[in-house]
Amino acid sequence: MSGFFGSLLAKAAVIALEALVAHLVQVVIQSVARRFATQRGFATA
- 17-31 exposure pattern, b = at least 16 Cβ within 10 A, e = fewer: eeeeeeeeeeeeeee
Mean pLDDT, rounded, of the chain: 88
Q: pLDDT tens digits, residue range 8-22?
A: 999 999 999 999 999
15-39: average pLDDT = 94
DSSP label at 41?
T
Q: Is the pLDDT of residue 40 over 90?
A: no
pTM of the model: 0.64
| Sign of CA pseudo-dihedral 17, 18, 21, 26 | negative
User: Higher-confidence residue: 24 or 33?
Assistant: 24
